[in-house]
Amino acid sequence: MEILKSPRLILRPLILNDAVHFARLLGPDPAGVRMTASIPNPCTEEAAREWIVQNTCPRTEHVFAVTHAQSGEFMGAIGFGDSPGNGELGYWIGKPFREKGYATEAIRRIVTHASYLGIRRLFAETFPTNPASSRVLTKNGFRLTGRGTRSIPLRGGARTILKYAVEIQGYSGQNNRK
């Protein structure tokens, strides 16, 4: 897997040793964990290791550690699973790094990478209780396509979700609306 760079970030392949960073950033942030669909709560190092193993299949999963380009500090994770022509985006950024534009920059870079791989469309889902994630997606050209219900056992079963999609052909990295 490649290493992806943007002005402030390096997205590198996620490795098992990153479990310590998951536990450090998400262990004391149960509210942040609840905004994800699949990261175990509590997020212990052991649980994070299992999550990394399950989500880093090299043929269908493109999962990266989000690290600071200057310091190398681990800040979160981003990636997508792919099926022919489409992919589903997921990401999280640790609490100390939120509201600084890192998620926006990481998504912009990962969508460009997906385009390079021939992915035509990316989908993403958020919970209605996570408006920050909705804003980050729309900043990156994702459009709200609807609401739905999805079974998310780690979050108590049926949950309402907001569905987003971006067409990658001609992707500019930004929403055309100001």
What is the predicted pLDDT for the residue at 172?
A: 63
Round to whole Å and give the CA distance between 104 and 108. 6
- 137: enclosing H helix or E strand: helix 131-139
**Residue 41 scores a pLDDT above 60:** yes
**Tens of pLDDT along 117-162?**
888 999 999 999 999 999 999 999 999 999 999 998 888 899 999 9
Residues 78 and 108: beta-carbon distance below 8 Å: no
For the full predicted model, state whether its pTM sits above 0.85: yes
The ranges assigned to domains in the chain are 4-120
Round to whole Å and give the CA distance between 26 and 120. 32
- Class of the 4-120 domain? alpha beta
Instruction: Please give the DSSP secondary-structure letter assigned to residue 55.
Output: T
What is the predicted pLDDT for the residue at 87?
A: 85
Instruction: Please give the DSSP secondary-structure letter assigned to residue 174.
Output: S
What is the predicted pLDDT for the residue at 54?
A: 87
SS3 29: coil
What is the predicted pLDDT for the residue at 177?
A: 36
